[in-house]
């Protein structure tokens, strides 16, 4: 990675609404990612789409979706390629199948990090698994490696505690760094509780 990440910028990054589609297999991705949300947490879902996450939330979670388009009465409409995300602080930010469309992923992660008090749950199709020609066909706006994503979270006060694959998507579970978490991490303990 160079000091300034080398994104591949396209002119198509705002055109999601022109080719919108929702894949049934994203259900599994949502379900697996949702397991890292704890009861009673507040959750903001960036690029919420059909809001599949709602049915996998544990008890007493609050939920707010942000998207290019109004998906329900509460959806906050925001195009993150044209404007800043609204300043909504939440325990968890959830971003599934969306980071690929960010013209400036570094800025999006930075904004999400500053709004997240506990956990960022993020899927991304890394460059190692999806080469540039495929990314171009899919109109993705950037090309990051797994290491790039880890560095982005680290730079913004988060540490990736867990990474796994769901249908070729890489899932990153990033926790806000606290002294006790750093201590536990040093000894190889993964902590998912709120401290």
Ligand X SMILES: C[S@@+](CC[C@H](N)C(=O)[O-])C[C@H]1O[C@@H](n2cnc3c(N)ncnc32)[C@H](O)[C@@H]1O
Name the site residues for ligand X (rule: CB under 6 A). 14, 16, 26, 30, 47-50, 52, 67-69, 78-81, 96-98, 101
Give the nearest distance from C-beta 62 to ligand X in angstroms. 18
The smaller minimum CB distance to ligand X, of residues 51 and 184, is found at 51
The smaller minimum CB distance to ligand X, of residues 140 and 153, is found at 140
Q: What is the dihedral of CA 123, 126, 131, 136, to 10 degrees?
A: 50
The smaller minimum CB distance to ligand X, of residues 105 and 152, is found at 105
Pairing of strands 116-124, 158-166: unpaired
Give the nearest distance from C-beta 107 to ligand X in angstroms. 12
Give the nearest distance from C-beta 185 to ligand X in angstroms. 28
**Contact yes or no for 170/162 (Cβ under 8 A):** no
Give the nearest distance from C-beta 69 to ligand X in angstroms. 6
What tokens does 182 get? 């750093």
What tokens does 134 get? 């495929």
Beta bridge partners of 169: 166
The smaller minimum CB distance to ligand X, of residues 169 and 181, is found at 169
In the three-class reduction of DSSP (H, G, I as helix; E, B as strand; rest coil), residue 32 is classed as helix
């Amino acid at each position: 990675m160079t000091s300034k990440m080398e994104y591949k910028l396209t002119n198509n990054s705002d055109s999601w609404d022109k080719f919108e589609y929702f894949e049934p297999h994203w259900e599994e991705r949502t379900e697996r990612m949702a397991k890292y949300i704890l009861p009673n947490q507040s959750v903001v879902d960036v690029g919420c789409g059909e809001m599949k996450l709602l049915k996998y939330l544990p008890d007493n979670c609050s939920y707010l979706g942000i998207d290019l388009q109004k998906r329900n009465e509460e959806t906050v409409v925001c195009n993150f390629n044209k404007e800043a995300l609204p300043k909504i602080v939440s325990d968890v930010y959830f971003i599934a199948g969306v980071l690929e469309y960010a013209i400036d992923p570094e800025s999006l992660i930075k904004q999400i990090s500053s709004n997240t008090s506990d956990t960022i749950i993020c899927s991304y199709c890394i460059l190692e698994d999806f080469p540039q020609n495929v990314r171009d066909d899919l109109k993705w706006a950037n090309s990051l490696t797994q290491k790039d994503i880890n560095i982005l979270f680290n730079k913004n006060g988060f540490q990736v505690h867990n990474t796994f694959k769901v249908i070729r998507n890489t899932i990153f579970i990033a926790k806000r760094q606290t002294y006790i978490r750093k201590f536990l991490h040093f000894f190889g303990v993964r902590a998912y509780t709120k401290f």
